[in-house]
Amino acid sequence: MARSKAIRVKGIQDVQRGLKNLGLTARNSRTEINKALRPAANLLARGMQRAYKKEFNRFEGTRKQGRTPTWRTIGITTAKKSREPGLFVGPMKKRTTPIKVKGKDSYNLAEMQILGNVRQQPRKNIFEATANQMESIIYVRVEKDLDRLLEKMIKKSGLR
């Protein structure tokens, strides 16, 4: 799935500067901020999983033994190659059951259903719709968790 659609939290750079002033390195502050962002990302991932089940799981069919349910492939990935803190929420290829299609690894089914393929027309993007719907809830949660992080770091540094 294209990672161009994102919910961006403003003020992260201020938190990073504050953590740097408290003595944390850039890497450690990024890790701490990602830890604070994870509960909000979990909320969004669960919301996307519910929306996916509602949209695509119309019937309870039998599943081949050992296959991962498609809704479970929706999760959180840490932005490891970025210098800035961040988490990606959406379908993940690494959690899928490996299936070969024309000799190559298949796409994640959740992503394929949104993008479409030769046999299937693209469907409504439930990931973007859920993110837009839950945006205010996520901002409130992130703000609360980042405030808690700063309070914890201030106490740890002995300024209070």
Q: Does 4 fall in a domain?
A: no
Closest CA to 37 of 79, 83, 99: 79
pLDDT at 1: 42
Q: What is the CA radius of gyration of the chain?
A: 19
Whether the predicted pLDDT of 106 surpasses 90: no
Q: Does 34 fall in a domain?
A: yes
Closest CA to 95 of 134, 116, 68: 68
Threshold 0.85, pTM exceeds: no
pLDDT tens-digit series, residues 58-87: 666 666 666 677 788 888 988 888 888 889
pLDDT at 62: 63
Rounded to a whole number of angstroms, the distance between the first and last alpha carbons of the chain is: 45
pLDDT tens-digit series, residues 119-154: 778 888 888 899 999 999 999 999 999 889 888 887
Number of domains in the chain: 1
Helix (H, G, I), strand (E, B) or coil at 76: strand
Whether the predicted pLDDT of 2 surpasses 60: no
Q: Does 65 fall in a domain?
A: yes
Q: Does 6 fall in a domain?
A: no
Q: Range of 26's domain?
A: 12-157
Q: Does 77 fall in a domain?
A: yes
Residue 117: band (very low, low, confident or very high) from pLDDT cuts 50, 70, 90: confident
